[in-house]
Amino acid sequence: MRPFLLQSFLYSLIFLLFVSCKTYKLTGVKSVPNSEQTVENLYFSSNEDYVYKCQMDIYKNHVSGILIIKKINENTHRVALTSDFGNKLIDFEVSGNNFKLNYVLPDLDKKIVINFLKNDFQQLLKQKYPVSESFENENSKIYLSKVDKKRYYLFFNKENNLLKHIIYTKNNKEKIDFTFDAKKHIFADSLSLQHKDFKINIKLFQITETE
């Protein structure tokens, strides 16, 4: 990753901290009785390596590399990002309550970058969601999970029951949208992560598939 890209990356994050997010309201759905007490995101539940081509767009900057995610115990995943040339950029372990930084490229060793990655992957790799309310529309079963001031809206395809979409909100403000494309419950062939306050988009595309 070139120094000027890293500098632009940091400036973009700082500037976009001040962009407000919109209040989120679920529309076009009807309330239904709860059929589940808990729902799960199983896309990173296997003990095999998940290897993706990573594309990150931050403001006007584009960064690409290889992202590897591995579940190392029941609650923790290890995440490593390398450049396209195989140089390690960052390596960390993350769970719902903990974050351990194993390595970071000095140019990336900034608090705002570390916090950004910590939060994104804590949300992406969260597996279990207690169900507070249930809804549906023509195509999806939708479960609302409330955790403190956080709200998660999980959309499952009615035809195959695969998780297609998670909307993460905090203090009723839409923060991150996750969209998944998958053929099986334990592996997403591709996914996109779109911030609503930072104007940051991350896309992951399958390189190797778990069995």
What stretch of H or E contains 135?
A: strand 133-136
pLDDT in tens, 160-186: 999 999 999 998 899 999 999 999 999
d(CA 45, CA 75): 10
Q: Which two tokens stand for residue 44?
A: 């990173």
Distance between CA 127 and CA 61 in Å, rounded? 31
Helix (H), strand (E) at residue 11: helix 3-16
> What percent of the chain stands above pLDDT 70?
87
The span from the CA of 138 to the CA of 150, in Å, is: 26
Mean pLDDT, to the nearest integer, of 109-115? 85
Q: Tell me: pLDDT of 141 over 70.
A: yes
Average pLDDT value for residue range 62-87: 92
User: What is residue 131's three-state secondary structure?
Assistant: coil
11-46 pLDDT, tens digit per residue, is: 555 554 444 456 788 889 999 999 899 999 999 999
pLDDT of res. 75: 93
Terminal-residue alpha carbon distance, the chain:
32
**Which among 142, 143, 137, 92 is positioned nearest to 119, based on CA atoms?**
92
Q: Is the pLDDT of residue 8 over 80?
A: no
Handedness of CA 162, 180, 168, 100 (dihedral sign): positive
Whether the per-residue pLDDT at 10 is higher than 70: the answer is: no
User: What pLDDT score was predicted for residue 17?
Assistant: 47
For residue 68, the tally of other CB atoms under 10 A from its CB is 17
* Residues 129 and 145 sit within 8 Å (Cβ to Cβ): yes
Task: Report the topology of domain 3-208.
Answer: outer membrane lipoprotein receptor (LolB), chain A (2.50.20)
Model confidence band, residue 146 (pLDDT cutoffs 50, 70, 90) = very high
**pLDDT tens-digit readout, 118-128:** 999 999 999 99
| Mean pLDDT calculated for residue range 199-208 | 86
Averaged pLDDT of the chain: 87
Percent with pLDDT over 90 in the chain: 63
The one-letter code for the residue type at 25 is K
